[in-house]
Each structure stands twice: as structure tokens, then as C-alpha cells.
Chain A
Amino acid sequence: MILVRLLLQTVVLALGQIWANKTRAILTSLGIIIGVGSVTAVIASLTGLKQFVLEEFETFGAKTMFIDGQVPESMRNRISWRSVQLTIPEIRAIQEHAPAVERITPRYYNSYAIRNGELTKEGVLVMGIWPEWHEITDRHVILGRQFNRIDEEQMRYVCIVNDQAIEELNLDRDPVGDYLLIDDLRFLIVGVVETKQLSPMFGGGDVRSEVFTPLSTSMKMDSGLWIRDAFAQMADPKQADEAEEQIRFVLRKLRGLEPGQEDTFIIFATQQAIDQFNGLAAGMTAVAGGIVSISLLVGGIGIMNIMLVSVSERTREIGLRKAVGARPAIILMQFLVEAVTLCAVGGLIGLVIGQSLTLLLQNMPDTPLEHAEIPPWAIALAFAFSAAVGVIFGMFPAVKAARLDPIEALRHE
């Protein structure tokens, strides 16, 4: 009770001291102000960057998974890449036995020369897909129709094109019903699919011409025995780990892998990549925090310096306080509280500056930082750190004050 009252009085006293020496206090806590201001701005921009990257991931779909055959490092020379490629029965098995997987599509692709009348375009990507592909990649048919079961089963020569292909091959605005020559085979255009800008992170970038055929058709054209890879979609991004486990279970069982043997395939979930990126961002935040804490350290030395000046300036006052009955511990507390208050005020000003910088970053053109903001934990951290700096660097001057001999102190000029 009495301690609380004393503490309160000490805080009031400390604020009074700081107010009496405003300029000095501001200059002294400049290190803290800059430190806190920059650390919060850095954290805010990292938060914004994270938000931006997560949104990029969203373009690929947080619920999307990618599956491909892969020879594990340790068996590189013992098994051929062919033996690990995914097959249609494997995809069917996943469809059936992995409940966390909502839909799945195999993919098969190759580049062909495509001709429309006199116009030939070399090296156009032709991709074989199942109709589920539209839903999984969120790219729906805007004209005409999707492939149907008959297209797939009968390996019909039908195709879907994107806007870019219409432009580059000089097709009709509504090309549904027209024909294209793919590798000298005549394909009926049944639909147009929207072009979606995928983040460069996922091989997006420049919009290219794309032509889609039923999976079976494209495999037949290439006499392909294996599919290239598969896209799957889960019902819920939270099920990423579950879906991965289920797919792994199914594939390992089908491939007869013994416990201890490595997977002969890879599964990539966007969610996991997001988790990885979050880890990376946390690391970057920590590094930035570490660098900025050096500035707080320098700020702390400034605080210590000015507190030492304050102690020697107020030697007589300390002597008087001791003479009228202040215990050494109280004097210690008084100076410690003053240092902490100084740092906390500096931290507050730093936060205001950090917030202004953040607002500036948000409105900077051509930067992915429009979502920059200071998270609450960073505010708490900044305050805790400046208070800690106050305690650590205020301790030495405070101990010096507490140890002053009252007689000597009162004689001090």
C-alpha cells in the first residue's frame, strides 16, 4: 500500500522532472524514439509484405495442392523417373480414398504447333485436363462448355482456348464451333476459358496462349503412359496436413512402399508454403528487431548518461531527501522510475513516429505495402523493450544516487 503510494508519487515526480527539462528529455530519448519508431515501421512493413505475399498465394488458391512423382535423392541411381510417375489409377484411388480431398485433376501437357488457316504458332502449351480443373484453379468457362464425360472417354478432338490464344491465333471473338489444327489434328473449339493472372511466384507472369484438351486426348496424341502431375483441392485449407497424409497413405500403399522407405512423390500444399513463408517472415522480423535493438542500446547509453548528469546535478537534493528520511532504496526507485519514465515517453513518441511512417508506407505508390500496420504485439514489445532499457541503463545512475553519503551530498556544490 505504502509502496504503491510511493511509486505513484515517484512517477509524478519523474514526470515533473522530465517536464522541467523538456528539451533535454527529448534529446536524451532520441535514441529510444528512433529505435522504437524504426522497429515499429519495419515490423509494420513486414506485416504488410506478409499480407501481400499471402494474397499472392491466394491467387493459386489456399486450398490447392500439387502432386507429382519424384525420385528420392537416396534412390537417384537405382530407380528410373518413369517408375515414379503418377498414373490415372493412382489419381482415381486418391479421389476415392482421401476424404479430405474434395476434387482432383491429373494434368498432361506438351507444346505443339497450332494452326488456324494460314496462321501457325509454334510451341503453344496444350494441356490435358479433367473438368474438375476449372473448379480447382478457379478458371471457369466464359463461352461454350466444359469437357464432358464423353469427351474424356472417347478421347474426342475438342479443345478450350483462352483469350490470349484467340488474339494470337486470330480466331473469332466467339470461336465456339470453329476448328483449330493442333499438331495437324483437327480440333473443335467447344469453349473459352478466362485468363487468370497468376502470380509470377507460380510461373504466372506474362499471359500466354493456352489450349486445353481432354486429358485422354492429350495423352493419346503423345502416346503418354503417365500423367505429368495432378492438382487437388481440399474442402478447407485447414485440412492441408490431413489431406497430405491421406494422399501419402494412398500412394504409398499403391506403390508398396515399406515403412522407412522414402516417398517416391511430392505433395505441395499452398497452406504449407504459407506456413513456411510465415516462418520466414518471423525470421526476418526477428533479424530486423535485432538490428533495431542496437539503436535502442545506443538510446539506453544516452539515458544512462543523462541520468548520471541528473544525479550529479541533484546531489544536494538527494542529500536533503536522505536527511529528511528517504531510505537508499527509495532514492534508487526514484531515479529508476525517472529513467523508465523517460524511456517510456520516448517509446510513446517513437510509436507515434512509427505509426506515421506506416501511414506513409501505406500510401507509397508501386509498393506492396498497402496493408502495412503495426500489430498490437509489436506495440507491447516496443514498450517492454524501452522500459527494459530504462531499468537496465537507469540502474547504474540510480545505485550511484542511492549510495551517496548524505553529508557529502549536502556539502556538494
Chain B
Amino acid sequence: MIRRAAKSPADAPAIEIRSLRKTYRMGVERVHALRGVDLTIQRNEFVAIMGPSGSGKSTLMNVLGCLDRPTAGAYRLNGRPVEKMGAGELASVRNVEIGFVFQTFELLPRASALKNVTLPLLYSRTGWLGARRAARRALERVGLGDRMHHRPNQLSGGQRQRVAVARALVTNPSILLADEPTGNLDSTTGEEIIALFNTLHEEGQTIVIVTHEEDVAGHAQRIVRLHDGRIRSDLPTPSDPIHRDWLERAAIKIKDMGAGSPSPALEAAS
């Protein structure tokens, strides 16, 4: 049976984690992926999580997405404690509360865009007709109303990722989690996806993305930087020193090259 996770009180933050730890056991060695992370993300925030590889950002993403359980610490999703939930309960939380966008899209190759988008609703209480309607609406929302019956191999990379975004949105999740959503795309299509995220954010969607691209992170309201399993900085984007530094260097580079117009990210930041 699939139970719809009860929506929680409206005033609770979307994500609230306290002294979160995650330890992996690699043979006899223990790897501390997260060493006590505190993070609160309010509703309708657009947050970027950044950090070098091995900093624990993927682990944090997995815990946030309820794909993994923390070793210690508390995690409240919309006010509900999820750290002690069993595999089945976590599955329905993922179904109802969370929309995932992956770096490699993860579309089913033999299914049409529409079928791919319908997939999460197969595991919800939505009826067949309702699911189809919701999937159509989600595809229209990402601007693929005319590509519903195309298979992934008939779509461009950017369109595939938009199908993936539509799939993440189809259940009306409270949080959209994106793991390097532009990682497999060229910069122009990447910007398309980011623009889509911006639109969704303006419509009230809570978004958390993991990225290592400063210009992608620049679109978020807030940048959380991880290092060695701890939060190193958590600042609004305009006051993030690394980001500002990067912007300055990028501006100089562009000036030196004498190239045309700077990227939209730079325009937005300046």
C-alpha cells in the first residue's frame, strides 16, 4: 500500500537538519562523510550546495532526498522527522515530498516523455487519467507540450533534462532537488535549464541544487559551501566571497578577451 505522507504544518521550514552525521564503513576504515551539519532551508528558497569532491555534498543530497539515512542527528522535512523512517515510508516521502533531477537525466530509454513523466504517479494514489493529465501539465510547464510522445533518444540533451524536471515536478513536491543538473549539458542548454529553475522558483518552488559551477550557483539566493563534511560558509549569494571573487575574475577574463556580451549569470550578479 502507498500512503500519502501527511503534509505538515505550514510554518515549519522545508528542511531542518541538526548535527547531522553520516559515517560509512569501508572495510575496517570509517569514512566520515558528514561531521555534524546544521542547515535550515525555508520554503520557497533557492539554495545551491557547493564544495569540492569528497566534501560530503553528495551524501548531504542523498540524505536530504531521503535516499539515505543519517548515522546520527535529526532531519525534519516540513516539520516531520524522517531520520528514523523505514524503507517503505521513505519511499512514499520521496514520492510525495521530493522531486529529483539527476545529472544524467535517468530517463527510461524505451518510454515516451509522457510515460517517463507519469512514472512517479504510478507509485502514488493518483488514478490513471489523473496521472496522465498531471504529466501533460508538467510537460507543458517545462515547455515540452509538443514533445510528449518523443522518446529520450529523439530529444536533445536540454529537452531530456526538461523531461526529467517535469518528472520531478509531476507530484507537486515540496522540494525540488537537483544534483548537478547542468553537468551533462553544454553551457547554452545549461542556462536554459537554470532559467527554467528560476521560473519555477518565482512560481514558489523550493529548490536545492548541488553544483560545482559558480555561474549556476549564482542564480541561487544562497550558497552553502561544504568542506570535509562540515559547512564552511552559508551566505546569501551576493555576499558570498568566493562567488564574488569568481565573478570579478570572470569579468576581467572577458574584458581581456574583448569578447561580446557577458553571460546572463554575470549580468544578474553585477
**Which of A16, A325, A327, A406 has most chain B Cβ within 10 Å?**
A325
The answer to whether B102 touches A410 (Cβ under 8 A) is: yes
Closest partner residue, chain A, to B87 (CB atom):
A328
How long is the Cα–Cα vector from A329 to B167 in the complex, in angstroms? 22
Q: Is A367 an interface residue (CB 8 A)?
A: no
- Residue from B2, B65, B167, B171 in contact with A327 in the complex, judged by beta carbons closer than 8 Å: B2
Pick from B121-129, B140-148, B186-194, B215-223 the stretch touching chain A.
Answer: B121-129
The answer to whether B106 touches A316 (Cβ under 8 A) is: yes
Q: Is A107 an interface residue (CB 8 A)?
A: no
Closest partner residue, chain A, to B108 (CB atom):
A317
In which size bucket is the chain A interface?
A: 20 to 34
- Residue from B68, B110, B119, B128 in contact with A324 in the complex, judged by beta carbons closer than 8 Å: B119
How long is the Cα–Cα vector from A382 to B120 in the complex, in angstroms? 37
- Residue from A5, A316, A327, A407 in contact with B68 in the complex, judged by beta carbons closer than 8 Å: A407
CB-CB < 8 A to B62: which residues of A? 407
Whether A20 contacts B110 in the complex (CB less than 8 A), given A2-B125, A327-B123, comes out as yes
Closest partner residue, chain B, to A321 (CB atom):
B119
- Residue from A5, A20, A328, A329 in contact with B128 in the complex, judged by beta carbons closer than 8 Å: A5
Those of A309-335 within 8 Å (CB) of chain B: 316-317, 319-330
Those of A30-69 within 8 Å (CB) of chain B: none
Q: Is B44 an interface residue (CB 8 A)?
A: no
- Residue from A320, A325, A327 in contact with B108 in the complex, judged by beta carbons closer than 8 Å: A320
The answer to whether B1 touches A3 (Cβ under 8 A) is: yes
Those of B162-188 within 8 Å (CB) of chain A: 167, 171
Closest Cβ of chain A to B190, distance in Å, is 21
The answer to whether A2 touches B2 (Cβ under 8 A) is: yes
Closest Cβ of chain A to B29, distance in Å, is 19
Closest Cβ of chain B to A3, distance in Å, is 7
The answer to whether B1 touches A2 (Cβ under 8 A) is: yes
The answer to whether A330 touches B65 (Cβ under 8 A) is: no
Q: Is A93 an interface residue (CB 8 A)?
A: no
Mask: chain B, 112-124; 1 = CB below 8 Å from A; 0 = not:
0000000110111
The answer to whether A324 touches B123 (Cβ under 8 A) is: yes
Closest partner residue, chain B, to A330 (CB atom):
B123
Q: Is B21 an interface residue (CB 8 A)?
A: no
The answer to whether B100 touches A323 (Cβ under 8 A) is: yes
The answer to whether A324 touches B88 (Cβ under 8 A) is: no
Closest Cβ of chain A to B260, distance in Å, is 39
Closest partner residue, chain B, to A329 (CB atom):
B88
In addition to A5-B128, A16-B110, A323-B94, 14 A-B residue pairs with Cβ atoms within 8 Å of each other are: A2-B2, A5-B127, A9-B122, A316-B106, A319-B106, A320-B119, A321-B119, A322-B91, A325-B92, A326-B91, A327-B88, A327-B91, A407-B68, A410-B106
Q: Please provide the 7 A-B residue pairs with the shortest distance between their CB atoms, ordered closest to farther.
A: A325-B95, A324-B120, A327-B91, A325-B123, A320-B106, A327-B88, A325-B94
| A residues neighboring B (CB under 8 Å) | 2-3, 5-6, 9, 16, 20, 316-317, 319-330, 406-407, 410
